[in-house]
Amino acid sequence: MQEKNQDSVVAASVPFKLNNLQLVIIFECLPETDGTVFRIHTKGEGPMNVDIPLELVFHLPASYPSCVPCISVHSEHLTRTQCAAVKETLLQQAEDLLSEPMVHRLVLWMQQNLRHILSQTEAGSSSGKCAFSTSTTVDDGLWMTLLHLDHMRAKTKYVKTVEKWASDLRLTGRLMFMGKIILILLQGDRHNIKEYLILQKSSKVDVDSSGKKCKEKMISVLFETKAQTEHKRFLAFEVKEYSALDELQKEFETAGLKKLFTEFVLGLVK
């Protein structure tokens, strides 16, 4: 255990196992009127039996457990909507545990029920916006498309815009850079992918050679297909850079897209 004192705040890190999963709990003892904060790093079983890393933060006020703690949920492998759904469900569970210690029980409950929470989030979306399946059966609304961009002059702004569009439309996948090759692999509801393409072509997302804002005119759709059982369900939209072609190829192979890589991506290298 490591402890430190800073501005009357005491923090400690405690590793241990819960339900056969390794956890690290970081707790902070705040001034008496503010209570205590537990920051817990753990994992829950998500779709297709994949362990999803999570950070759960419980702020226990001085009146705890007579009141529900403040809870926040963070994960690089979930969308904001999915994190919000986990948080809301934990708060509902906490309401049923008032007047008794509940952090341990809430963490254990989340580990056991994360898959069901995400499944309900997907089912409750009016347009099928959640972009992964909870079984080996392919969702009717789950599609994949691969886009090729010729260049990005205002790269930083362009990347942030793409990330925002993907988040707003509940799309997952990859923005991939390898040398001069720029690819966007999207996965999600087909209608949302079409909405993304409209934004991509109609918005002034880049700048021209003179530095003026301009629309994307050099984008091509390499392929669009309904997701198959062998295709990986992406849990988030990530920006990745590859130093060599074999790294990019491995990304496609891991996603079950080896054939599509051979047919559509290799030709861009030549």
CATH number at 183 reads 3.30.70.100
Pair 169, 196: CB distance under 8 Å: yes
Q: What are the tens digits of pLDDT across the range 23-74?
A: 555 555 544 445 677 788 888 887 766 788 888 888 888 788 888 888 888 8
CA distances from residue 69 to 14, 84, 265 in whole angstroms, order as listed: 20, 15, 50
Domain-embedded: residue 136: no
Pair 174, 185: CB distance under 8 Å: yes
Quick one: 155 and 98 in the same domain? Answer: no
The residues pairing with 107 across neighbouring beta strands, listed in sequence order, are: none
Quick one: 247 and 172 in the same domain? Answer: yes
Domain that holds residue 223: 143-268
* 231 or 127, which is more confident: 231
Quick one: 101 and 188 in the same domain? Answer: no
The residues pairing with 56 across neighbouring beta strands, listed in sequence order, are: 40, 73
Compute the average pLDDT of residues 94-119. Answer: 84
Quick one: 113 and 148 in the same domain? Answer: no
Return the pLDDT at 139.
Answer: 40
Cα 245 to Cα 228: distance, rounded to the nearest angstrom: 25
Domain-embedded: residue 127: no
Compute the average pLDDT of residues 112-116. Answer: 83
Quick one: 179 and 253 in the same domain? Answer: yes
Quick one: 113 and 166 in the same domain? Answer: no
Please give the helix or strand (H or E) that residue 163 lies within, else none.
helix 155-168
Quick one: 102 and 216 in the same domain? Answer: no
Last residue of a domain, one of 56, 88, 122: 122
Cα 29 to Cα 36: distance, rounded to the nearest angstrom: 5
Tokens encoding 30: 């705040």
Quick one: 77 and 155 in the same domain? Answer: no
SS3 of residue 187 by DSSP: strand
Q: Which of 40, 134, 121 is nearest to 88 (CA)?
A: 121
Quick one: 112 and 157 in the same domain? Answer: no
Domain-embedded: residue 204: yes
Domain-embedded: residue 6: no
